[in-house]
Structure formats: C-alpha cells, structure tokens
A and B are shown apart, each in its own frame.
Chain A
Amino acid sequence: MAIALDRHNYDAIARAEATRRKGGWIVLGVALLVSLVWLAPFYYLIVSAFKSSTEYAAGHPLALPQGLSPIVDNAIRVWTDAKLGWGLVNSALYGLVGASVAVFVAAMAAFGLTRLDFSGRTFWFMLIFSGTVFPFQMYLIPLFFTYQQIGLLNTRAGMILFYCAICVPFPVLVLRNFMAGLNREMDEAARMDGANDWRVFFSIVLPNAKGPMLALFLLQFTWIWNDLLFSTVLGNTPEIRSVMNALQVFQGAYTSAGPNIAMTGALMASIPTVLLFFILRRHFMAGLSVSA
C-alpha cells in the first residue's frame, strides 16, 4: 500500500517560510552602517600603505592612492629602519612559546582541578583565578625591578617567562569549566581500561579539549603579539624587541618618515595573526561554540 507523500506543495511552503524570514531591512541597514564605522580605520590603513610620502602629504588622508607600487618602497623602508624582521621573529617566538606553554599548563591545571582529588582544590583555583581579577598593569613595576635584579631584563628568556605566566589564569578559568562538563564516565572508563592519571589526561581529556584549547591559544597569541606595555618595559633592546615595540620605536625615531610608512609596518605586523586565525578558524569557531 502506497502512502501519499505529497499532501501539500512543500516547495511553496518552503518559499513562503523563507520570505517570512527575510524582511528586516532596517536591521540590515543598521548593521551595514555599524560595519562602515568599524571599517573606516581599516580603510585608512590600507589606502595609506599604498601611498608614497609625497603623495600622502599632498592629498587628503582618505583619498584613494594613485597606484599600488609605493607599498614596496614603504615596506623596504620600514623593514630596514625598524628592524621589522627581528621584531617579527621575536614576537612569533614570544607568542608561540608563551601561548602554547600557557595553554598547556592551564590544561594540566584544569585537569587537576576537575579530576584529581586533593585538599584545597577550591583554594588553588581561587588563587589562580585571582590572576584574572587584577589589572595586569599592577604587575609592571614590581616585575621591572625584580627582572632588573635577577638579570632577566631585556632578555628573551625573561620575555618568554613573563608571557607564559601571565597567560595562564584565563585559560584555566575557561578550561576548568569545559573539562567539568566533559563526561566523567569517559575517564572512568579509561581508568578501568588501565589508564593512569597521565594517560587519561593525554589520551582522553586533551584530545577532547582541542577546540577550546586552540581558541585559547589564538586569543593568547594575539594578546602577546599585540602587547606593547610589557614588551616596552621588559624588553627594550633592538635584538629582543617585539614587532609592536619596534614599530613604536620606529615612529618615534623617524618622525620624518610619515604615517604611510608606519601604516605599512602596521599592516605587515598584523598579517601573521590574521593568517593564524584563517588557518585555525575552523577549530576556533568550534572551540567558541563549545565553551559557550
């Protein structure tokens, strides 16, 4: 016996549903306006990067460039004068090492806080958590003097150490919540399968926390990359300067160079984080939806 499947014209129903959903032109308009405001600085940055210094000085700052070629000269100029290459290498080093170590340490801490039975768990969590409560700037001066005394000031090791430490508390907060939500029976099953604490951490919990860990890595990497305050105070010699610091020094030292060259430098300095985001975006989005 056949069952009549086409009691209605389902295509028509679907189309009607879709048109009902649309509407909302006002919402769209407002959204467009907001994006314009938000995009204006980017526009300024891009057009400036394609202007030579004379062209920049002559025309309106928001005017379109006459050609594309000046960006090459600008890039060479900022690369050599600001030692941008070193800056990029340094920042990459600080960001990659700092963010990975911090997120990994945070994952271990979160595992301990959610899975292991030891006394004072809440106390330890609150202690770490307090690291996210106070403004970072508070650490600046004591850190400076301590670094000076023990000889870590203006060293790569000092910079890495600082970033590793400062980037731990926030991921602990996120990962603790995430791991608390992971099915506990899963690691009990692993324990019965013969896994010890380390094995449960590496083989069971860590692979399942990949999404939020990548998202956190990206956030912390970007924070380290963009950090100006600490990198200026703790690491201010030409060889160990971060890229942001190098750009700032360049702007101060070569005021004659003009904003177009600084903008080109800024553009170059932002490429790596954007690239990283594009490479990891799938995991990043997955991580966000998981932790939400």
Chain B
Amino acid sequence: MAQVSLRDLVKVYGRQPAVRGIDLDIQDREFVVFVGPSGCGKSTTLRMIAGLENISHGELLIDGQMVNDLPSRQRGVAMVFQTYALYPHMTVRQNMSFGLRLAGLPKAEIEERVARAVSVLELGPYLDRRPSQLSGGQRQRVAMGRAIVREPKVFLFDEPLSNLDAKLRNQMRIEIKRLQKALNVTTIYVTHDQVEAMTLADRIVVMKDGLIAQVGTPIELYEAPANQFVAGFIGAPAMNFFAGRVEAGEHDGLVFRSNAFDAVLPTGRFARLEIGRPVVAGLRPDDVVPVGHGVPPTGGIAATGIVILSEVLGGESQILLRLGEAEVMAKMSQPRPVESDERLPLQLNTDRLHLFDAETGASLRASADAR
C-alpha cells in the first residue's frame, strides 16, 4: 500500500536524455499504465522506480520517503519483466522463494507465502518443474508469483504480456486486473498496447520523447485528448485529422473549413479560437457514420465519401474513404459489403469534433470540458 511520487525525474545516458523531467503522483492502490511509442522512455522511467537505473535528476518518493539512493530491495517494489526473467536452474518453488530466502524469512513463513501465491495463480501442479518445462502463460504466472510472495508496496510490470499470443494475452490481462483488485497493491504497468492500457488502467500516462503528453482516466484521454499526439495515439483505428482554418460563419458563429468538409463549430466547446487561425480538426472513425449503420448522430453534417478500401472485421468494417480531397477512416457497424469507388453517404458527428493548434498541436477545447 503506497503512494509513489515522481518529481521532475530525469535520466540521461551519456549526454543523451531518455527521460526529460516527469512529474506524477500515483495514489495508493492505483493502477497506472504508461503508454507511448517505442523509445519514449517508459521502461527507463519504470526502471528508475525499480532501482535498476540511477536517477540522474529529480526525486522519487514512496510513501513520502525519498528513495533515490535506496537499493531496490529496500524500496518495497517487485517487478515482472517482459522476458519473465525466471531463474532457469531453479524450480518454480525455488524461483518464487529465492527473494524470501535471501531476506532470511523463517522457513514456515516462506512456505506459507508461496502456498498462498500458488493457490491464487493455480500453479500447484508445476511447483517442482523448471521454467523450461512450462508454457509461456505458466512462466508468466510464475513471474507474477515471484513478485507477489514478496508482498511489495508497489508492483511494476514492463510489457509483461508482449511475449504471449493474442488469446493468452487477453486471458492474462484479465488475470492481472483481478489480481490487482484482490491484492490492492499500487501498480505501475508499461505497455505499448493501447487495449491493455485502456482496459487495465485507473489512469493512463501517455509519454512522448521522454515527457508526459497527458495523464488521465481512459475516458478522459479518449474524449478530451490534450493534444494532437494523444488524440492520434489513443483509439484504434486512429483519429482522422484534417488541416484547415477557422472562419467567420453566420450569426456570429465560427466555421471550420478544410478541403474535406466545412462544419459549424459548436459554441462553448472550444476556447481561444481566432478567425483565420490555421488549425487541425480531429474526428474519430466512430464519428464518421455511414448512413443506415449504427446510431445516427443527432447533430452533425451530411457528406458523401468514395470507398477506397474496406477491412471486414466481422462485427464491424473499417472503411477508408475519400472525402473531398482528404482520406478518412470510418467505422461501419452491422456491416454490409461495399465496393471500391462506391459512393457512401455519411453523417459526420461534428458535435464531437476536436480542434488542435496547427503549430503546437495543443487542444483548443474549452478547459472546463478538456479537464
């Protein structure tokens, strides 16, 4: 049970910064997921928390205590690695009890803790096997067991599911979530799979180039991305972007004009809009609705797209369309087959339009809404 605070955390390798200054407060029992593109510094941040990497600058606090210079064994953290990092020459039982034996715990207690973890993770039949005699999912569970038995204050996971196949990954994802709920331990989890991030996290931290791009609940990130990067990163298929500008419309209103479509901007949704300002508009594929498929948006505008290609997923189709001079991805629920070059009537849900500054990429949403 612990709070973790990162204060202006920096990591430089040689002269190369990998993490450029991260501020974050993680609450007790919170499940925080770090996502971001490859090389953005997720693992480095996690490894600084773990004590595997020196902290170049800034402070790391666990329960209010500065732990920068504490070795990892004294920080009360346990980690599950991407490669599982089991000890190949030890049995499952020995793998799980290694840390406890080093800590000099009484034998009875070690056995009790291992037994508890084993029953939670259903590892009973494998206790005397070596890691090489286990399947990927079983190894994963042993790695988690090794972390659990230490009864840490903070769990750290670095892409723990990336070596598993899709089906097992879903299964283990649920298992991790359940485990965290049951054990009630503060958890920091690194992934670049956004499904994992969305489903597991209480809060998601999106990182880019060694900095935090946005922190928020999954819904916040999806509904109110703070910048174009987060808007494009969260959500699959990715948000459609249209370059254009803000212009004066009827009744003192504002319109967004682009080579794809023009739309009246809903009042109150945006702030800091100026006439003539170059902006980038964002519209999620869910908000490009082929007429007759799915819930038609109440507001919005009608348009016609020309089908470029479609990807059939069964429950829905993802359709790449030409809209004006731009390309746009649409989601068709209850799909029907479509042909290339077919003209598809669309309803664009422009009530849910996002606008970003063309230069900085910052969201132009009114702050009460963007929170």
Listed in ascending order, the chain A residues whose CB lies under 8 Å from chain B are 183, 185-186, 188-195, 199, 203-204, 207-208
Across the interface, do A208 and B99 meet the contact criterion of CB distance under 8 Å? no
Nearest chain B residue, comparing its CB with the CB of A186: B85
- Answer whether A185 and B73 are a contact pair too, CB < 8 Å, given A192-B78, A193-B99, A193-B146: no
Closest approach, in angstroms, between the C-beta of A181 and any C-beta of chain B?
A: 13
Decide yes or no whether B102 CB sits under 8 A from chain A.
yes
Across the interface, do B82 and A193 meet the contact criterion of CB distance under 8 Å? no
5 new A-B contacts, CB < 8 A, other than A183-B85, A186-B87, A190-B87, are A190-B98, A192-B52, A192-B79, A208-B88, A208-B89
Decide yes or no whether B203 CB sits under 8 A from chain A.
no
- Answer whether A185 and B72 are a contact pair too, CB < 8 Å, given A190-B98, A193-B98, A194-B102: no
Q: Interface of chain B, helix or strand or loop or mixed?
A: loop
Sample of 14 A–B contacts (CB below 8 Å): A185-B81, A185-B83, A186-B86, A188-B50, A188-B85, A190-B87, A191-B73, A192-B51, A192-B79, A193-B98, A193-B99, A193-B150, A194-B73, A195-B73
Across the interface, do A194 and B88 meet the contact criterion of CB distance under 8 Å? no
Please name all residues of chain B whose beta carbon is closer than 8 Å to the beta carbon of A199 when the two chains form the complex: 102
Please name all residues of chain B whose beta carbon is closer than 8 Å to the beta carbon of A203 when the two chains form the complex: 98
- Binary contact readout B69-85 vs A (1 if CB under 8 angstroms, 0 otherwise): 00111000111011101
Closest approach, in angstroms, between the C-beta of B360 and any C-beta of chain A?
A: 38
Across the interface, do A192 and B87 meet the contact criterion of CB distance under 8 Å? no
Nearest chain A residue, comparing its CB with the CB of B73: A194
Decide yes or no whether B108 CB sits under 8 A from chain A.
no
Decide yes or no whether B103 CB sits under 8 A from chain A.
yes
Contact of B102 among A188, A193, A207 (CB under 8 A): A193
Please name all residues of chain A whose beta carbon is closer than 8 Å to the beta carbon of B83 when the two chains form the complex: 183, 185
Complex: A214 Cα to B8 Cα, angstroms = 49
Please name all residues of chain B whose beta carbon is closer than 8 Å to the beta carbon of A192 when the two chains form the complex: 50-52, 72-73, 77-79, 99
Across the interface, do B102 and A189 meet the contact criterion of CB distance under 8 Å? no
Closest approach, in angstroms, between the C-beta of A39 and any C-beta of chain B?
A: 39
Please name all residues of chain A whose beta carbon is closer than 8 Å to the beta carbon of B98 when the two chains form the complex: 190, 193, 203
Please name all residues of chain B whose beta carbon is closer than 8 Å to the beta carbon of A208 when the two chains form the complex: 88-89
Please name all residues of chain A whose beta carbon is closer than 8 Å to the beta carbon of B82 when the two chains form the complex: 185
Please name all residues of chain B whose beta carbon is closer than 8 Å to the beta carbon of A190 when the two chains form the complex: 87, 98
Closest approach, in angstroms, between the C-beta of A12 and any C-beta of chain B?
A: 34
Nearest chain B residue, comparing its CB with the CB of A191: B72
Across the interface, do A185 and B102 meet the contact criterion of CB distance under 8 Å? no
Complex: A191 Cα to B81 Cα, angstroms = 13
Complex: A97 Cα to B177 Cα, angstroms = 55
Nearest chain B residue, comparing its CB with the CB of A187: B85
Complex: A186 Cα to B85 Cα, angstroms = 4
Closest approach, in angstroms, between the C-beta of A255 and any C-beta of chain B?
A: 55
Nearest chain A residue, comparing its CB with the CB of B147: A192
Nearest chain A residue, comparing its CB with the CB of B149: A193
Please name all residues of chain A whose beta carbon is closer than 8 Å to the beta carbon of B52 when the two chains form the complex: 188, 191-192
Complex: A208 Cα to B77 Cα, angstroms = 26
Nearest chain B residue, comparing its CB with the CB of A199: B102
Nearest chain B residue, comparing its CB with the CB of A194: B73
Complex: A203 Cα to B101 Cα, angstroms = 12
Complex: A188 Cα to B78 Cα, angstroms = 11
Complex: A191 Cα to B70 Cα, angstroms = 12
Closest approach, in angstroms, between the C-beta of B76 and any C-beta of chain A?
A: 11
Across the interface, do B88 and A189 meet the contact criterion of CB distance under 8 Å? no
- Answer whether A188 and B103 are a contact pair too, CB < 8 Å, given A193-B98, A193-B146: no
Q: Which of B53-107 contact A (CB under 8 A)?
A: 71-73, 77-79, 81-83, 85-89, 98-99, 102-103
Please name all residues of chain A whose beta carbon is closer than 8 Å to the beta carbon of B103 when the two chains form the complex: 194
Please name all residues of chain A whose beta carbon is closer than 8 Å to the beta carbon of B99 when the two chains form the complex: 192-194
Please name all residues of chain B whose beta carbon is closer than 8 Å to the beta carbon of A194 when the two chains form the complex: 73, 99, 102-103
Across the interface, do A195 and B102 meet the contact criterion of CB distance under 8 Å? yes
Across the interface, do A189 and B89 meet the contact criterion of CB distance under 8 Å? no
Please name all residues of chain A whose beta carbon is closer than 8 Å to the beta carbon of B89 when the two chains form the complex: 207-208
Complex: A192 Cα to B72 Cα, angstroms = 5
- Binary contact readout B261-276 vs A (1 if CB under 8 angstroms, 0 otherwise): 0000000000000000
Complex: A204 Cα to B81 Cα, angstroms = 16
Q: Which of B155-180 contact A (CB under 8 A)?
A: none
Across the interface, do A189 and B146 meet the contact criterion of CB distance under 8 Å? yes
Nearest chain B residue, comparing its CB with the CB of A207: B89
